[in-house]
Structure 1
């Protein structure tokens, strides 16, 4: 089924592009037809009505789209894994009781609607998402109650994470959090960008002006006012005097329970040490219920702290070993130490990490505290994933996924004259003194493409929207400066030719338009432009772009001043390296020329500044890169989606980050993150070949036991008549693997154990199929029953078959787990084979010809008895387990991962149990 609102959202996105290309009725009609042409009406689900014909759908879409305006971001889904230990739910109840004095959030909500132009449904979705995050905090108004919550929010690169934490901060202030510290990346330009957002969307005043309160953003809305909040950081950027925190800026103002203080700071040791010094200085002067003392510990009390760590996988993660070779404790790296020291100063604290590349955060050791600094920044309390909205221009859409027929959008342009070992222009390996003599032919084409895309955007009415081209070829600033000079020379020459109507230049641009832009737009939207419509805009583009080739690397005073160009739009070519690699938003990024190589998943993904929202010009975007980098981006996109699936599975099982081991797919030519951040992870090669995988741990949960019983019943009923039906053998032969995968999809294994895990076994099968391995295409299935000689076990009916359940004794019982030592018997593994197993080992059985052709799934209906007793545990249904006997021959592909410390601990426990 496909939801009507999903269709409507997709249609609306296409219409926003097409409305500048054709009359309104034609644009609407083309948009609707592009999505409805292949969807049967019975597959369309509407929340309040049933369609009898596709024409009714078309009429409703026409009616609603005619009335709607200003959509920015459509709804996405969220998934949360949280630890409720010592956590008291509070926010929703207080909100329902009208017990929170909301001032900041309603103002921000109105700002998003009226100034940012967000649709009402989008704001409501953000409201719901941020409510969910705040609920995972603790109530800051409860006096003298200590709390320490550490969580992680995982989004996509440039998908709107900043809007999320702006919403969280506004609600945190309303709820009573008094100290807000935003760790805004490592560079001043990123801190500046974040400060400007906070000025606009939280403070409501321009912090660059000290003499007076200049109201901006949220406080300028009709009916709204300015609410005083202390802040000792500023939005003005000056190379000699930046706006970051220092002790002088606090003007001797203490933290107070009367109102909130917000700090927007870089992850810089000296800055954070100054901040620690500020708090330590004041804590010595406080007394009463604002201070808590216990032996040598002195903490702020009833001054609840919220630390929001943006780009939390950068600098925040400890990269040192926990102990040295002499067994002595080692202090962590500087930024990690400062963050933990800040947290230690407060008795009530929340650490909220945000990142799109959470690999390093997941690899933090979950249970290795420091003597003085306490526990590390592992997100033990919760992990929340934010799904990308349908109009998000992200890795999966742009590059596609491995082992999938979807190859991404048709906007990638492979280059071979730059970024490679043998390239003349910025070869793969070069030094800081490298001097490129001429720009490559592919870079010339990329600049030409930028001119064409810009002219089309002008025609579409986007001349006052920001418009950027990225050139990122090297980490060396000196080489970046030389590239920028060559680019400026080429653009100046191109400008002269366009203004003077040079015939060869116009012909070159037209050829590129007809070869590239025209077919790409048609393939994506089934519509395009007329060359004569865009030709007059080339000279306008050139004039607007004039002198706007900027070098963004810290050695030159250029800055991307989008804020002061909001009314007219900044059109710019940005040449740079590290400063363009993470966090910094390149507004309206249209063309990217990217050849810088790194083998780290997180670094490479963050360098992809082209991700985000490109409403109205997706078809005009281009990514010029090498074939190697294109393939690597597909690999990373796949690894990230698999990780998200793991997090969703963790939520389904209602487990905490300390109960569910996480793993990340590895790649032979790449590293997930730096080796120092992976210090506590270990590699894992998962292959079930030659093993017997069995469920020996079961959830001690009546509903799950009943659900698994019904899952197994459905499987057996669907198989119909057995191929072997003897007194102690009920077997089906040569059944499709899809039947097995459906069963694994619905069966709930205990706590996501690393090996005996239904979802991970299914992933293993999918991996084999994707590699064209056919050894797992056909299966044998057995319903295990005791033979008639064992009269003590009563006969029951299971899916129409008379069976004697298998008796097993409980070896361990916990509040949430039932554990038996072993479920299978050697004879069970040959139930589908005409073989006497008495003189064979289990290993030998798995090498038999019959097993080599088909794996065997065994279903066990169990009578589980209590420790050393004959009393069967009483549930509404029997416990049902499964086992798989895998062949020890044939073809298979290892699934290669790195796993975190939680996974390692669970894996060790599973090995010990078995």
Structure 2
């Protein structure tokens, strides 16, 4: 067994153990050891990965290049970064782990921003207390940390405790804590009023003591769900008055914690780090760099457990030796690997029928889970039993099971669906049903049991579906034996006796001040201990359930309509069925319109592409921060939190033209490229409509050969090098390509000429000639790889990662290479005189080093005996029928067609040497992506295709 090196935060130290060493549970001397002892549900391997990722964030994020917080010898007073997790994958576990390690490294003040709702704030506070701030309240804890606020204040009804009291710091306590190196830990709600109160308390009760400390004081701010409320849109807020304007207050109030705009200024010895945690980083990454919370110093991607992947070098997933029950159940399972298991089902034409069938599926799944949980009470029995102790209540209560219904964002629609559901289940009095919903006592009627008799065949279909799913899951994940299902008679008995009478319907309130989170803890009253309230619950909600709140035991999710505003980040957050559900994944179902399911799959593909780019940059271990492309689709935007987003395609278009030319004052190296090419390859004349139009090589080039040819172009006034946004963009794409297999050694997608010594790089062009060669190499690489985040140019609704690669390879284009003649004199210099044919120059105008015209005249309606245009040059050579000539059709060559590279030799009067311009025709069928850009982005405006 290999042991990790002395620097566990570094990439080289991360080792995958077949039998990893366990943390010493008896060691309680550090924050990390106490925290790790509470992670009882995680395998040893997962703990190792969790700790490695936390150490990476602490060492390279919070502290930068060294423990003194300097970069290149210059003190860095504020650092801002982003941590990207997956939906319900363990982001909070990472956040608490980072807190523990940071406290062990003597960070002085940790502020955890725990969501925009009271329910999330209290949920995170409770988790921090139970997992991080462990032990009984008393002197031991008091000597260990100063916690603000206290449990009683957090638990008090909303508004009962003034915010100035809730976040109050006693200066004497703070001075003593700083002197004793005892950290201050704050858990705050991410609400403008809470943040202002906290900021004032820090300025009044902490800053003066910091100034007197005589050492650097470290502050860490951890922002949970950081794309919720913490985003600034610079374009929208440009010109707004900073005091009286309608500006977003939450992000500025967060930044005020370490850099207040008014009042007491921040002490010069304050070193602050802001770490944004989110599963949907689209808006965080698209913020302008000057926004106070934009990630300018580090970006980190967390990893999830699966059946493949290594720890070093990092991949987005890592192999979990404990097997599939410990895997993260995310988009890879639902939309790819387990498609045959039927986990995703399209809705039909009748919402009432869909709702009834989905509820039957949930209840049958709950009955199966109940039967499997031998020794546990059913939900009905548990809810009607009083227990003598907490331990007995916890031991005998079943694991929670949940269903989620999304009717729409309208609260009235949500209540209407709830009332309809209760009516279907046997509650005929809608007034009584509404009263029960308001009192959280809307349980299904036992009259629903009669439906088991009248529609037995419909109920039993779910038994067959789950059995089929179990077999497909076994095949997918190489499980030795499929999970067995009870006989129908046993399931029916459980439905009648426990599941139906023990299942509650709940409409989740959208009020930010409401503490309406699901209740999964046992509770005590004067009668004794009771089981959790939400043992079997059908939650009905809109967007409020798509943020942060975890639904335990979620098996069934029903979307009754497709979203009208498909923003990828908010739609990814809706996927609450992600998590660690493989112990019952065969019982899980996502039921939605087919178009919505396709969108979910596309969101996941783009999400995985982004993570691959970040992980690749982390493995490179460079000093620059990852800046991955945020992808969107032809039919959906990345986020609605940034205004005026544009879409930048990757493909250079159907017929890009390189207008950039050399000035002709000296021999053009591109002329040598062309003449050498035609000296060493057989070629033939091309005639059309009775005229000689040019010359063409007798054999076409492959994609790779065509790319290398274009990379050979050289320009006197353009040499961009590799330190620019084009190179960065192509490195992002290459990272995704190489996650599916390395490119040949030394090969890159984007390969401009190397800069000569002493020559400064040119400003890179949006229509950079070398991006075309990069695109050809990408296309070639994608013929053997299911690269994420790409779509085929002919069908942008599809995903390249699901393409038939053998068919793609069969239809790949070849590129014909030609020279187009002009009406000028025969060119007799720079190697053209040595060709076995004469080349007549074009005489097109040149302005500022660029050809004014591109493809020249075009006659879309030209008949068979006429010349339609240069873009069909190779068709005339081959004698093939030209594509449909309707002028309103896009000028793309069809899938399976060949392409064209056509050199234009230009020499105007007075020009000593001819210069070369190039036109390229690209068929459909290649890979593309749609990068989201803001108006000020270097990626520039959308180019027409």
Q: Distance in 2 between matches of 1:272 and 1:177?
A: 21
Which residue, 387, 395, 400 being the options, matches 2:331?
395
Q: Distance in 2 between matches of 1:201 and 1:179?
A: 19
Decide whether the 8 Å contact of 1:661 with 1:901 is kept in 2: no
Which residue, 268, 273, 292 being the options, matches 2:196?
273
Aligned to 1:821: none
Residues 1:378 and 2:294 aligned together:
yes
Which residue, 518, 521, 533 being the options, matches 2:467?
518
Aligned to 2:95: 165
Decide whether the 8 Å contact of 2:210 with 2:217 is kept in 1: no
Aligned to 2:117: 187
Aligned to 2:205: 282
When structure 1 is superposed on structure 2, of 831-840 and 598-607 the one drifting more is 831-840
Residues 1:550 and 2:506 aligned together:
yes
Which residue, 486, 508, 515 being the options, matches 2:458?
508
TM normalised by structure 1 equals 0.62
Aligned to 1:779: 814
Aligned to 2:9: none
Shift of residue 196, structure 1, vs aligned partner = 1.4
Which residue, 224, 231, 251 being the options, matches 1:317?
231
- 1:817-856 matches, cutoff 5 A: 836=839, 838-839=841-842, 843-844=854-855, 847=871, 849-850=873-874, 854-855=898-899
Shift of residue 618, structure 1, vs aligned partner = 0.6
Which residue, 345, 351, 355 being the options, matches 2:278?
355
Q: Distance in 2 between matches of 1:832 and 1:117?
A: 75
Decide whether the 8 Å contact of 2:682 with 2:698 is kept in 1: yes
Q: Distance in 1 between matches of 2:100 and 2:929?
A: 42
Aligned to 1:335: 250
Q: Distance in 1 between matches of 2:469 and 2:50?
A: 33
Shift of residue 581, structure 1, vs aligned partner = 1.6
- What's the secondary structure of 2:555's corresponding residue? strand
Q: Distance in 2 between matches of 1:326 and 1:167?
A: 39
Q: 1:855 to 1:657 in 2, by over 3 A?
A: farther
Decide whether the 8 Å contact of 1:343 with 1:349 is kept in 2: yes
Q: Distance in 1 between matches of 2:651 and 2:489?
A: 59
Q: 1:288 to 1:101 in 2, by over 3 A?
A: farther
Aligned to 1:459: 371
TM normalised by structure 2 equals 0.61
Q: 1:282 to 1:753 in 2, by over 3 A?
A: farther
- What's the secondary structure of 1:344's corresponding residue? coil
Q: 1:857 to 1:850 in 2, by over 3 A?
A: closer
Aligned to 1:623: 590
Q: Distance in 2 between matches of 1:607 and 1:353?
A: 20
Residues 1:481 and 2:420 aligned together:
no
Shift of residue 175, structure 1, vs aligned partner = 0.6
- What's the secondary structure of 1:352's corresponding residue? strand
Q: 1:214 to 1:849 in 2, by over 3 A?
A: farther
Decide whether the 8 Å contact of 1:661 with 1:903 is kept in 2: no
Aligned to 2:886: none
Aligned to 1:747: 748
Q: Distance in 2 between matches of 1:272 and 1:901?
A: 29
Residues 1:252 and 2:217 aligned together:
no
Q: 1:641 to 1:692 in 2, by over 3 A?
A: farther
Q: 1:733 to 1:129 in 2, by over 3 A?
A: farther
Shift of residue 834, structure 1, vs aligned partner = 8.4
Q: Distance in 2 between matches of 1:409 and 1:659?
A: 36
Q: Distance in 2 between matches of 1:358 and 1:454?
A: 34
- What's the secondary structure of 2:921's corresponding residue? coil
Aligned to 1:234: 151
- 1:381-460 matches, cutoff 5 A: 381-390=297-306, 391-400=327-336, 410-417=342-349, 440-460=352-372
Decide whether the 8 Å contact of 2:114 with 2:223 is kept in 1: yes
- What's the secondary structure of 2:647's corresponding residue? strand
When structure 1 is superposed on structure 2, of 572-581 and 354-363 the one drifting more is 572-581
Shift of residue 459, structure 1, vs aligned partner = 2.8
Q: 1:552 to 1:178 in 2, by over 3 A?
A: same
Aligned to 1:39: none
- What's the secondary structure of 2:498's corresponding residue? helix
Residues 1:123 and 2:42 aligned together:
no
Shift of residue 667, structure 1, vs aligned partner = 2.4
Decide whether the 8 Å contact of 2:555 with 2:587 is kept in 1: yes
Q: Distance in 2 between matches of 1:320 and 1:355?
A: 20
Decide whether the 8 Å contact of 1:104 with 1:202 is kept in 2: yes
Aligned to 2:30: 103
Q: 1:762 to 1:452 in 2, by over 3 A?
A: farther
Shift of residue 612, structure 1, vs aligned partner = 1.1
- What's the secondary structure of 1:203's corresponding residue? coil
Q: 1:166 to 1:68 in 2, by over 3 A?
A: closer
Q: 1:730 to 1:174 in 2, by over 3 A?
A: farther
- What's the secondary structure of 1:616's corresponding residue? coil
Which residue, 510, 518, 535 being the options, matches 1:560?
518
Shift of residue 646, structure 1, vs aligned partner = 3.8
Q: 1:355 to 1:833 in 2, by over 3 A?
A: farther
Q: Distance in 1 between matches of 2:589 and 2:657?
A: 49
Shift of residue 630, structure 1, vs aligned partner = 1.3
Residues 1:134 and 2:98 aligned together:
no
- What's the secondary structure of 1:250's corresponding residue? coil
Shift of residue 560, structure 1, vs aligned partner = 0.9
When structure 1 is superposed on structure 2, of 120-129 and 475-484 the one drifting more is 475-484
Extract unaligned runs of 5+ from structure 2: 1-14, 261-265, 307-326, 377-397, 428-443, 476-481, 524-529, 662-679, 685-694, 708-736, 738-742, 753-763, 783-790, 796-806, 818-828, 845-850, 857-869, 876-892, 903-915
Residues 1:691 and 2:656 aligned together:
yes
Summarize deviations over 1:500-546 as a string: whole Å, max 9, x none: 795325443223323x2232222322644252474255247735862
Q: Distance in 1 between matches of 2:167 and 2:576?
A: 34
- What's the secondary structure of 1:683's corresponding residue? strand
Summarize deviations over 1:629-666 as a string: whole Å, max 9, x none: 11221222232233334434555666666785734233
- What's the secondary structure of 2:277's corresponding residue? strand
- What's the secondary structure of 1:887's corresponding residue? strand
Residues 1:601 and 2:575 aligned together:
no
Larger radius of gyration: 2
Which residue, 175, 178, 182 being the options, matches 2:105?
175
Summarize deviations over 1:176-234 as a string: whole Å, max 9, x none: 1111111122111111111111111111158xxxxx5499xxx9xxxxx9944422153
Q: Distance in 2 between matches of 1:479 and 1:884?
A: 61
- What's the secondary structure of 1:321's corresponding residue? helix
Aligned to 2:555: 590
- What's the secondary structure of 1:204's corresponding residue? coil
Decide whether the 8 Å contact of 1:191 with 1:265 is kept in 2: yes
- What's the secondary structure of 1:521's corresponding residue? helix
Q: Distance in 1 between matches of 2:588 and 2:138?
A: 41
Summarize deviations over 1:49-74 as a string: whole Å, max 9, x none: 9xxxxxxxxxxxxxx9xx99999xxx
Decide whether the 8 Å contact of 1:234 with 1:243 is kept in 2: no
Shift of residue 239, structure 1, vs aligned partner = 4.5
Q: Distance in 2 between matches of 1:884 and 1:452?
A: 69
Aligned to 2:937: 904
Aligned to 1:529: 485
Q: Distance in 2 between matches of 1:227 and 1:131?
A: 22
Q: 1:377 to 1:834 in 2, by over 3 A?
A: farther
- What's the secondary structure of 2:170's corresponding residue? coil
Aligned to 1:640: 607
